[in-house]
Structure 1
Amino acid sequence: MKLFKCQSCGNIVYFDNVSCEVCGHRLAYRPAQTEMTAIEPLGDNWWKPLNAPEQRRLLCANAEHGVCNWFVPDETTDAYCLACRHNQTIPDLSVPANLPAWQALEMAKHRLFYSLIRLNLPLTTIIDDPVRGLSFEFLADAPQIGGPKVMTGHDSGKITIALAEANDAERERRRVAMGEPYRTLLGHFRHEIGHYYWDVLVRDGGKLDACRAMFGDDSEDYGAALQRYYKDGTPTDWQDNFVSQYASAHPWEDFAETWAHYIHIVDTLEMVVASGMSVKPKVDNTGEFAARVTFDPYRADSIEQIVDAWLPYVFAMNNVNRSMGARDLYPFVLSPGVIRKLGFIHGLVHDRARAGREPSTSLADALIGGLLPWTRKAG
Structure 2
Amino acid sequence: MRLFKCSHCGQLLYFENTTCEKCKYPLGFETNKSKLLALVKQENDTYTLYNDSKSDHYRYCANHEHDVCNWMVPQNSETPFCTACTLNHTIPNLSKPEYVQRWKAIEFAKHRLIFSLLQMKLPVLSKIVSPEKGLSFDFVADESKDSSQRILTGHENGLITLNIAEADDIEREMARKAMDELYRTVLGHFRHEVGHYYWDRLIDGTEHLAEFRKIFGDDRQDYGEALKKHYAQGPPADWNQHYISAYATSHPWEDWAETWAHYLHIMDTLQTASAFQLSIKPEVARKSDHLEVELTEDPYQISDFTVIMNMWLPLTFTMNSLNRSMGLHDPYPFIIYPEVIKKMAFIHRVCNRAKS
Bin for the TM-score computed over the shorter chain: over 0.9
Contact 1:125 1:134 in 2 (8 A): yes
Contact 1:37–1:51, Cα closer than 8 Å, also in 2: no
Residue identity matched to 2:42: L
Question: Using a 3 Å threshold, how does the CA distance of structure 1 residues 51 and 240 change in structure 2: closer, same or farther?
Answer: farther
What residue number does 1:138 align with?
139
CA apart distance, 1:283: 0.5
Alpha-carbon separation, structure 1, partners of 2:223 and 2:285: 46
- Please state how far the C-alpha of 1:73 moved relative to its aligned partner: 5.6
Deviating more after overlay: 63-72 vs 18-27: 18-27
Question: Where in structure 1 do 4 or more consecutive aligned residues deviate above 6 Å?
Answer: none
Task: Give the alignment partner of residue 300 of structure 1, picking from 302, 308, 311.
Answer: 302
Whole-Å separation in 2 of the counterparts to 1:226 and 1:101: 29
Contact 1:141/1:147 (8 A) holds in 2: no
Cα deviation for residue 143 of structure 1 reads 4.5
| 1:7 aligned residue | 7
Work out the CA distance in 1 between the residues paired with 2:230 and 2:222. 12
- What do residues 337-372 of structure 1 show as CA deviations (whole Å, max 9, x unaligned)? 0000000100010018xxxxxxxxxxxxxxxxxxxx
Which residue number corresponds to residue 160 of structure 1? 161
**Residue pairs, 1:239-278, within 5 angstroms:** 239-278=240-279
State the alpha-carbon separation in 2 of the partners of residues 146 and 177 from structure 1.
15
Structure 1 204/51 Cα, relative in aligned 2: closer, same or farther at 3 Å? farther
Letter in 1 for 2:284: V
Q: Are positions 1:18 and 2:22 aligned together?
A: no
| In structure 1, C-alpha distance between the alignment counterparts of 2:51 and 2:212, rounded to whole Å | 44
Q: Is the 8 A contact 1:73 1:82 kept in 2?
A: no
Map of 1:355 onto structure 2? none
Instruction: For residue 149 of structure 1, report the CA deviation from its aligned partner.
Output: 1.2
Q: Which stretch shifts more, 156-165 or 135-144? A: 135-144
Please say if 1:42 is aligned against 2:38: no
1:226 and 2:227 matched = yes
The amino acid across from 1:52 in the alignment is: D
Task: Report the AA paired with residue 193 of structure 1.
Answer: V
- Looking at structure 2, the residues matched to 51 and 186 of structure 1 have their Cα atoms a distance apart, in angstroms, of 34
Whole-angstrom CA distance in 2 between matches of 1:271 and 1:337: 26
One-letter amino acid of the structure 1 residue matched with residue 342 of structure 2: R
Alignment check: 8 A CA contact 1:58 1:77 kept: no
Amino acid in the other structure paired with 2:50: L
CA gap 1:249/1:226 in 2 versus in 1, 3 angstroms: same
CA distance in 2 between counterparts of 1:135 and 1:252 reads: 20
Normalising by structure 2, we get a TM-score of 0.95
**Structure 1 residues without counterparts, runs of 5 or longer:** 353-379
SS at match of 1:36: strand
1:145 Cα deviation after fit? 5.7
Q: Write the distance in 2 (CA, Å) between the matches of 1:215 and 1:52.
A: 50
Distance 2:234 2:324 in 1: 28
Counterpart position of 1:177: 178
CA distance in 1, matches of 2:44, 2:62: 12
TM-score by length of 1: 0.89
Report the alpha carbon displacement of residue 77 of structure 1 after superposing the two structures with TM: 4.9
Deviation of the 1:139 alpha carbon: 0.2
Shift of 1:9: 2.0
| 1:324 corresponds to 2:316 | no
RMSD: 1.6
| Gap runs ≥5 in structure 2 | none
Residue in structure 2 matched with residue 373 of structure 1 by the alignment: none
Identical pairs, percent: 45
The residue identity in structure 2 corresponding to 1:305 is V
Structure 1 residue 132, shift from structure 2 partner: 1.8
| Distance of aligned partners of 1:91 and 1:53 in 2 relative to their CA distance in 1, 3 Å threshold | farther
Deviations 1:117-176 (A, max 9, x none): 000001121122211211100000014465721100000110001010010010011011
Q: Secondary structure at the match of 2:328?
A: coil
Q: Give 2:143's aligned amino acid.
A: A
CA contact (8 A) 1:135 1:159 kept: yes
- Offset from partner CA, 1:38-60 (integer Å, 9 cap, x none): 11211323111115343211221
The 1:220/1:32 distance shift into structure 2, 3 A limit, reads: same
Does residue 313 (structure 1) correspond to residue 288 (structure 2)? The answer is: no
2: distance between equivalents of 1:125 and 1:146?
A: 32
Does 2:245 match 1:235? no
Q: 1:347 pairs with 331, 336, 349, which one?
A: 349
Q: In structure 2, what residue type is equivalent to 1:289?
A: L
Q: What's the counterpart of residue 284 of structure 2?
A: 283
Q: Is the 8 A contact 2:59 2:75 kept in 1?
A: no
Alpha carbons of structure 1 residues 224 and 102: separation in structure 2 relative to 1, 3 Å: same
Which secondary structure state, in structure 1, belongs to the residue aligned with residue 73 of structure 2?
A: coil
Deviation of 1:78 after TM superposition, in Å, equals: 3.0
Q: How far is 1:284 from its partner?
A: 1.4
Residue 32 of structure 1 and its aligned partner are, at CA, apart by 1.6
